[in-house]
Chains A and B, each alone.
Chain A
Amino acid sequence: MDGVRYGRLGERYREMLGSRCPSCGAEYFPPVRVCRRCGGRGTKDHPMPREGRLVSFTVLNVASAEFQGEAPMAIGLIELENGVKVMAQVVDVPPSSLREGMKVTMVARPLTKADGAFLCYKFVPAG
């Protein structure tokens, strides 16, 4: 990841900063300008809850060019406590211990070994 892009996204990545529609209360991550529920165009930045549940997951063995040397990587589809779903890496857990329904917590971790300065939301087992 280059510095310019991280400059734009860093806060979103570190804090899992999404958005909320003041008209209907719908919450979003990734953030949106236009509310998909009510069509409101005045959404505001809003942090996401850190606790969630693993809906599904995969361990990928073939990584993209930007993640060379990172595979195998566990990628989870996580439903947060507010119902918002995100795709993110699941770390600090052997792949064989991953289970659907498992409770997980968001942490900010270096995006890759090579991009140590760029922190990004990842998930670890809760508790």
Chain B
Amino acid sequence: MAGREPSTKSNGVRRKPARGFRGRPSLLRRVFIASVGLVNVGKHPEMGIADLMVEASVGALSALPDAAPDRVVVGNMFSGVGCGQEHLGALLSSSLGYQGIPAYKVEAACGSGGAAAHNAYLSVKAGESDCVLVTGVEKMTDLDTAKVTSALAMADSQEYTASVGATFISLNAVTHRLYLSRHGVPKEDMAAFPVMAHRNALSSKHAMFHKAVTAEDVLSSPVMSDPIRLLDSSPVCDGAASLVLVSEEMARKVSSPLVEILASEVAANIFSIYERPDPLEYAATKAAFRRAVDRSGVRPEKLDFLEPHDAFSITSALSLESMGLSPAGRAPAEAAKGRFALDGDLPIGTFGGLKARGHPVGASGTYQLAEAYMQLAGRAGPNQVSGAKVGMTQNMGGVDTTTAVHILASAN
């Protein structure tokens, strides 16, 4: 197959040689996504956690017949309580027929997928790996609702949050109420986020939901933890998404479209919302975003789309605002006016996001990155953001307790 030079110019972003943090020249290498593989998100009683991982991984690897991963990184939040299975790194590498390579799981609650991709990125960047398989996976539907609720609460303090009765939804619900009252936001505007997510998912093949909803549907859906309603919340589901990250040298040998990871940043916040000076401040998102912008040299107004962590309507609003992509208290109104729609100024959740594509928690970060790849490779079908050259993903564990931000650009 014809070799190809990954471009430094055509994405319109990197006209200078790679620069390290704070502008220091970087001796480190460039990192590309060479292919992705997705399991359709949903309830998969027929598939165990290994089946999910293998299906996504084989999907990603089949586009690269000559590539053999020299490292396997799994992103996952709660396979131990979810299906009694840990040791996912070796389970996946062994299932794919590999022996002797590094293989392990990375965990950061719902931010596990983004953190796993970050770990793989570092390895390629540092020259330790040339080809890394990253697979995010979560198997949630073996558990009943009460057990899933307990499992998700592990993202926050077991001893001072979960054990006194608070759930993960309830943490987001208190921020939702505080946000509405602080900024005087009408609840109808908040409903714009799920309405938009469901609209984008209609034509998204791998999404869980293919059903449009109206603001009225959202506001009359059952109350989970007020003011959060069922349709403000991402669903319980199963899924796995894989990425193959390659070095520049390896990138020259593959024929699939290439997307460069211009920045991969992770930041951790003060653990629980009640320990923070302002429970509405997403300081981890802010820090990871700021570093990613600095490192990539991409100005935020140049982003063609964003895959935010829209686990709840409130997390969409606070994520956009903490990155300065919307003024404080304005994101819901801007959403209601269509600014974040597929044909808007800054499309978000382009395949339905966590809300409507689905949120298999430890896999969501890798779904976001796979979707960003599809957009930047021009393979997003009916969900294509026209002319997409640069995009960003933001994946949170807990209520912005650990956040991974990636900035990506098409490299073909």
Residue from B167, B270, B274 within 8 A of A60 (CB atoms): B167
The docked-state distance in angstroms from the alpha carbon of A116 to that of B207 is: 44
Contact pick for A85, options B147, B175, B181, B274, CB 8 Å: B274
Chain B interface extent, by class: 35 or more
Contact of A77 among B163, B228, B273 (CB under 8 A): B273
Contact of A75 among B157, B174, B223, B227 (CB under 8 A): B174
In Å, the complex CA distance between A21 and B165 comes to 28
Interface string of B212-238 (1 = CB under 8 A from A): 000000000011111110000000000
Known interface pairs A55-B178, A56-B178; A86-B274 also in contact (CB < 8 Å): yes
Instruction: Give the residue name and chain of the A residue nearest to B224 (CB).
Output: A62
A60 touches B177 (CB 8 A): no
Partner among B150, B223, B279 whose Cβ is within 8 Å of the Cβ of A66: B150
The residues in A between 22 and 64 inclusive whose CB is less than 8 angstroms from any CB of B are 28-30, 36, 55-64
Q: Do A60 and B170 touch across chains, with their CB atoms under 8 A apart?
A: yes
Q: Which residue of A lies closest to B160 (CB)?
A: A30
The reply on A19 being an interface residue by CB < 8 A is no
- When distances are taken between beta carbons in the complex, the residues of chain A under 8 Å from B153 are 64
Do A62 and B150 form a contact, CB below 8 Å, given A56-B175, A85-B275?
Answer: no
* Residues of A in contact, count (CB < 8 Å): 37
Most chain B beta-carbon contacts within 10 A, residue among A9, A30, A62, A120:
A62
A88 interface residue (CB < 8 Å to B)? yes
Contacting residue for A56 out of B162, B174, B272, B275, CB 8 A: B174
Question: Is the C-beta of A114 less than 8 angstroms from some C-beta in chain B?
Answer: no
B149 within 8 A of A: yes
B51 nearest CB across to chain A (Å): 26
- Contact residues in A for B226 (Cβ distance below 8 Å): 58-59
Return chain A residues, CB-CB under 8 Å to B273: 77, 87
* Known contacts A56-B177, A85-B274, A87-B161, A65 near B171 by CB under 8 Å: no
Cβ–Cβ contact A58 & B161, under 8 A: no
The CA of A56 and the CA of B171, in the complex, are separated in Å by 10
CB < 8 Å neighbour of A70 from B165, B170, B228? B165
B274: A residues at CB distance < 8 A: 77, 85-87
CB-CB < 8 A to B270: which residues of A? 36
- Name B179's closest neighbour in chain A (CB-CB): A56
A30-B160, A36-B270 known; A62-B169 Cβ under 8 A: yes
B171 and A87 form a contact (CB under 8 A): yes
Q: Mark B314-353, 1 if CB is under 8 A from A, else 0.
A: 0000000000000000000000000000000000000000
CB A42 to nearest CB in B, in angstroms, measures: 19
CB neighbours of A61 from chain B (8 A): 222-225
8 closest A-B pairs by beta carbon, nearest first, are A58-B173, A60-B225, A56-B174, A64-B150, A65-B146, A56-B178, A30-B160, A85-B274
Residues of A within 8 A of B (CB): 1, 5, 9, 13, 28-30, 36, 55-68, 70, 73, 75-77, 85-89, 100, 111-112, 120-121
26 residue pairs of the A-B complex, CB under 8 angstroms, read A5-B163, A13-B164, A30-B275, A36-B275, A55-B174, A56-B181, A58-B228, A59-B223, A60-B166, A60-B167, A60-B169, A60-B225, A62-B149, A63-B146, A63-B167, A64-B150, A64-B165, A66-B150, A75-B170, A77-B174, A77-B273, A87-B160, A87-B164, A87-B170, A89-B165, A100-B177
**Which B residues contact A (CB, under 8 angstroms)?**
145-147, 149-150, 153, 157, 159-167, 169-171, 173-175, 177-178, 181, 222-228, 270, 272-275, 279
